[in-house]
Amino acid sequence: MLAVEKLQERFPEEIIEVFESAGQTVVVVRREKIVDILNFLHGDVELLFDHLADLTAIDWLGKKTPRFEVVYTLYSIRYKQYLRIKAQVPEDDPRLPSVTSIWKTANWFEREVYDMFGLVFEGHPDLRRLLMPEDWEGYPLRKDYPLFLEPDKEWPVYRELREKARELARFDWYPTLIEHDQAEEVTEEEGHGANA
């Protein structure tokens, strides 16, 4: 593939590995010069990878040594070809440069990766949580994050909301909950009566 040859010529020290999977080319690179590499692929007239199809991350907990990989799927609308670039990010220093200066669409993709994996993109204009609430703790798509949270670790806002709803259920128009509460009160009274 022409793009891989050009990359090997231009950035020989940055490339770690080139392999094919299901007929698609993947290039694994170091994270330091990722902006230069992608800028080169975006601007080169013979490659012209102008469409950032996807940007995401993978958590390789217990499988590979640099724990995270950020995956850039590029597409060239002119030359009709895909190329996948992977940047390796270690666990103890989860930082890599942002590519929002090249593609505006990377803005939300990077925010989502930050939200879900906790990777920090340096130079991002507005790095906030996107899908999860702002005061959420933990990064849900990491492999060590459980599918079901333990009851005492659940989101405090949700717990408050549920307690509030239980408190206000007495004033609800729908009679089911009130009947349930009244039934409980009645049995308690009966119980006291029997004891007396």
Q: Cα angle at 123 between 25 and 17, to 5 degrees?
A: 20
Least distance (Å) between residue 102 CB and another protein? 8
Least distance (Å) between residue 61 CB and another protein? 10
Using CB under 8 A as the binding rule, whether residue 59 contacts another protein is answered as yes
Sole binder of another protein in the list 6, 30, 33, 84 (CB under 8 A)? 84
Stretch that binds another protein, among 70-78, 157-165, 168-176, 179-187 (CB under 8 A): 70-78
Sole binder of another protein in the list 3, 34, 37, 52 (CB under 8 A)? 52
Using CB under 8 A as the binding rule, whether residue 157 contacts another protein is answered as no
Least distance (Å) between residue 192 CB and another protein? 46
Give whichever of 137 and 167 is closer to another protein, judged by the CB atom. 137
Least distance (Å) between residue 112 CB and another protein? 8
